[in-house]
Amino acid sequence: MLKEMEYVLAVWEARSFSAAARQLFVSQPALSAAVKKVESELGVPLFDRARSPLGLTDAGRAYMEAAERVIRIRRDLKRYCDDLAGLQSGTLALGGTNFFASCFLPPMIEAFSRTYPQIRLSVIESDSADLYNRLAEGKLDVIVDSGVYDATRCDSTSFYTDHLLLAVPAGAPIHARFSDACMTRQDVLAGRHLSAATPAVSLAAFAGMDFLLLGPGNDMYRRAKGLFQTAGYAPRVRLYLNQLMTAFHMARQGLGATFLTDTLVSLSLPTDALLYYRLEGALARRKTFLAVQHKGYRTRAIEGFVQVVLELYHIEDKNFL
């Protein structure tokens, strides 16, 4: 019965029998037969097959709500039993956007796996909205993120602060005007951008440049928008992009200026194709945090992962757990 329930949920999440069959690694006829068996037992159809994409009947909506509760109870029971094993077994699902998954998760996973080698880990990379939906549904245990989140759905603890920099192609003539303020990658690695002795630039001076920005829905878009509003002008945007690393590669090809973080500059491919400027204000400082469900069973694996990360970054936060 549980397998059939999972099949029905998979069809609804995929909004397609064929897509769900591919995800479940079963044939479409077998999946259709399993769903029809559930509908036959209930005596009502669950899906409105005349709609595209697939829709739910009233009975289908009630079934999905009940099925999600059953599967959540089953998952919490399994987690409780894993906890009784004393972190000698169990799973942990981690999530992050491309930037956080590639820059922050590797050392976290290495440190956690060294301490708790029996815990099976999985990683999902997606956009923030999808990650928080998965967290609310219990499909993720911990998210690494920055920016705005819903405090009624999540608890969080910050463990790291990075700093936004204005990255400008090295061939841009404007550098001659700010020779005392522009920095190389080596300057950033040395922490020159953190010193008040390094002049900060006003974005107003770069009003004639093309910019490469991350798109709406991204925390970097929100920050860039605020920085330009403070500067008093709307930028000339050449491209909207999805990933910070893409903006880095586009900028180093000379396609425009962009906003990067000092973390990305330090971890990315060494290049002399960009010069950097310090930015001032709260929007130029970005706290990175771990987020977990506000409600729901918090496993020892989740608590162990959070503790390992806080120790890794030398942070004490006893109120989080």
At 247-259, the pLDDT tens digits run: 999 999 999 999 9
At 97-125, the pLDDT tens digits run: 888 998 899 999 999 999 889 888 999 99
117 lies in a domain?
Answer: no
Once rounded to an integer, what is the mean pLDDT over residues 193-204? 93
Domain boundary among 29, 51, 81: 81
270 lies in a domain?
Answer: yes
Domain boundary among 61, 81, 101: 81
317 lies in a domain?
Answer: no
User: Which CATH number does the domain housing residue 215 bear?
Assistant: 3.40.190.10
123 lies in a domain?
Answer: no
Same domain membership, residue 278 and residue 177 = yes
The pLDDT value recorded for residue 86 is 62
232 lies in a domain?
Answer: yes
Number of independent structural domains in the chain: 2
At 267-279, the pLDDT tens digits run: 888 999 999 999 9
255 lies in a domain?
Answer: yes
User: Which CATH number does the domain housing residue 41 bear?
Assistant: 1.10.10.10
Same domain membership, residue 164 and residue 75 = no
Q: Give the range of the structural domain holding residue 60, as residue numbers without chain letter.
A: 2-81
pLDDT at 47 over 60: yes
Same domain membership, residue 268 and residue 177 = yes
Q: How confident is the model at residue 211 (pLDDT cuts 50, 70, 90)?
A: very high
Cβ-proximal residues to 308 (8 Å cutoff; 6+ apart), any chain: 108, 111, 112, 115
At 286-306, the pLDDT tens digits run: 999 999 988 766 788 888 899
215 lies in a domain?
Answer: yes
Q: How confident is the model at residue 162 (pLDDT cuts 50, 70, 90)?
A: very high
- What per-residue string of b and e applies to 136-174 under the rule 16 or more CB within 10 Å gives b? bebebbbbbbbbebeeeebbbbebbebbbbbbbbeebeb
The pLDDT value recorded for residue 200 is 93
Domain boundary among 81, 98, 126: 81
Same domain membership, residue 168 and residue 276 = yes
27 lies in a domain?
Answer: yes
Same domain membership, residue 170 and residue 77 = no
Same domain membership, residue 164 and residue 281 = yes
Using a pLDDT cut of 70, give the percent of the chain over it. Answer: 94
> Lowest mean pLDDT: which of 129-133, 148-152, 312-316?
148-152
φ and ψ at 293, to 5 degrees? -60, 140
The pLDDT value recorded for residue 85 is 60
